[in-house]
Amino acid sequence: MKDATTIGDELLNTLKLALHCVDPSPSARPEVQQVLHQLEEIKPEAVAGEWWNADPISVVRQATRTGAAPNISDAYTINGQPGDLYNCSSNDTVIVPINSGETNLIRVINAALNQELFFTIANHKFTVVGADAGYLKPFTTSVIMLGPGQTTDVLIKGDQAPGRYYIAAIPYQREWWDANPMDVVRESTRTGGSPNISDAYTINGQPGDLYNCSSKDTSIVPIDFGETNLLRIINAGLNQPLFFTVANHRLTVVGADASYIKPFTTSVVVLGPGQTTDVLITGDQPPGRYYIAARAYHTALNVPFDNTTTTAILDVKAIFQELLLF
C-alpha cells in the first residue's frame, strides 16, 4: 500500500492541475489532452468522461446558445477511451495494473458535462476514503455515484484471482423527464418541494414498451436456460421507492447495499432511492422472453406520483447440444 506521503503528493498534484484548469486567463488553461496526459502521470486515476462524434466545443457552444442541455453523447469514456463495448473507430481499452495482494489508491473523477455516473469494478469492493479533496470516514461499497465534476478517492485491493476485471462507468438516471433533469433538480432545490413528477421510469436507460416514447427500445437481459445469474438491482430514482419483479421467476436475495445478508427467496423486491439489492435468478422457465418490471411503491393518500410501469425483457435462451451419430 502507498504511504501517506505518496498519497498526499498525488492529491496535491491533482489540486494544482485543477487550479490550472480554472486559470482566469483562458489562454493559460491546458487543453483536454494535456489534462489527461498529466492525470496519467499523477497516476492512478480513473477519469470518466463523455465522447461526441463531433467537436466537443461545438456541443458546448450549442448548449450555451440555446440554453438547453448538451446533445446526448455518443459514448462514455474512462481515461479517454470508450472500451470494448462500443463500435468506435478506436477500440482501445484502458488497463489499470495492480499487483495481487496490493492495495492502491484510485482517484475517480466524473469529467462528464452534466451526467451523473455510477462507477464499479467487477468482483471487487472498494473503500471510499475521500471526496472532492476532503477526507471522509471510510466505508466499503461496490458501486459509487459521482455527480459532474465530482472526485472520489477509493482504496482497492487486488484480492481476487489474478486476471482481468472490467472497470465500468454507467449513467445515473432511472427516472425520465420530458425536460432537462438538471432543471428539475434546480427547481426542487429552489422551492424546497419534491421534484416534479417524472414522465417515465427506466431500466438501464430505456423506458420499455409500455410508454408512448419517441424511442421504443427495451433493454434485454440474456440468460441461458438452466443458468443462474447474479443481478445487482439499483434504484437510481430521485426520491421514489420502487417495486421490482420478473415474470414467472423467483429471486433469491443475497445482498443489500454491498453487504451480504441471509438469503431468502421472493418474487418481488422493493428498493428505496439509492438502494442496491443483489439477487440470484435462474433460467428455470421454458426458453422465451419474460417481462422485467419496476413501478412505484406509494402509500400516501391524495399525493400525486408517477404511477407508470417500466419494463425490460429477460431473454431465456435454449442451449442446443450436438448429437454425434456413429
State pLDDT tens for residues 97-142.
888 888 888 888 888 776 677 788 888 888 888 888 778 788 888 8
Question: Rounded mean pLDDT of 46-67?
Answer: 72
List, in order, residues 6 or more apart from 109 with CB less than 8 Å away.
39, 45, 46, 47, 48, 146, 150, 151
DSSP 283: -
Question: Rounded mean pLDDT of 3-9?
Answer: 53
Alpha carbons within 13 angstroms on the beta-carbon side of residue 194 total: 11
- Cell 489532452 -> residue: 33
Task: Go through the domains of the chain in sequence order and give each one's CATH number.
Answer: 41-171 (2.60.40.420), 200-317 (2.60.40.420)
Q: What is the pLDDT of residue 247?
A: 95
Q: What is the pLDDT of residue 190?
A: 74
Q: Which three cell numbers stand for residue 99?
A: 499487483
Q: What are the tens digits of pLDDT across the range 185-240?
A: 677 667 766 666 777 888 887 888 888 765 567 888 888 898 898 888 888 776 78
Cα distances (angstroms) measured from residue 149 to each of 6, 8, 166, 279: 24, 20, 23, 32
- Residue 258 in this model has a pLDDT that exceeds 90: no
Question: Rounded mean pLDDT of 33-54?
Answer: 66
Q: What is the pLDDT of residue 150?
A: 83
Confidence of residue 69 (pLDDT cuts 50, 70, 90): low
Q: The dihedral of CA 301, 305, 308, 311: what is its sign?
A: negative
Q: What is the pLDDT of residue 326?
A: 46
Dihedral class, residue 111 (left if φ above 0, else alpha if ψ from -120 to 50, else beta) = alpha
Whole-model pTM above 0.85?
Answer: no
Name which residue leads in pLDDT, 197 or 39: 197
Confidence of residue 61 (pLDDT cuts 50, 70, 90): confident
Confidence of residue 292 (pLDDT cuts 50, 70, 90): very high
Give the mean pLDDT of the chain: 77
Q: What is the pLDDT of residue 10?
A: 62
Q: What is the pLDDT of residue 104?
A: 82
Question: Rounded mean pLDDT of 291-311?
Answer: 81
SS3 76: strand
Name which residue leads in pLDDT, 37 or 256: 256
Alpha carbons within 13 angstroms on the beta-carbon side of residue 120 total: 13
Question: Rounded mean pLDDT of 302-315?
Answer: 83
List, in order, residues 6 or more apart from 235 with CB less than 8 Å away.
174, 241, 242, 271, 272, 273, 274, 275, 276
Q: What is the pLDDT of residue 40?
A: 57
Question: Rounded mean pLDDT of 44-73?
Answer: 69
Name which residue leads in pLDDT, 202 or 11: 202
The number of beta carbons lying within 10 Å of the beta carbon of residue 169 is 22
Distance in angstroms (rounded) separating the CA atoms of residues 306 and 279: 26
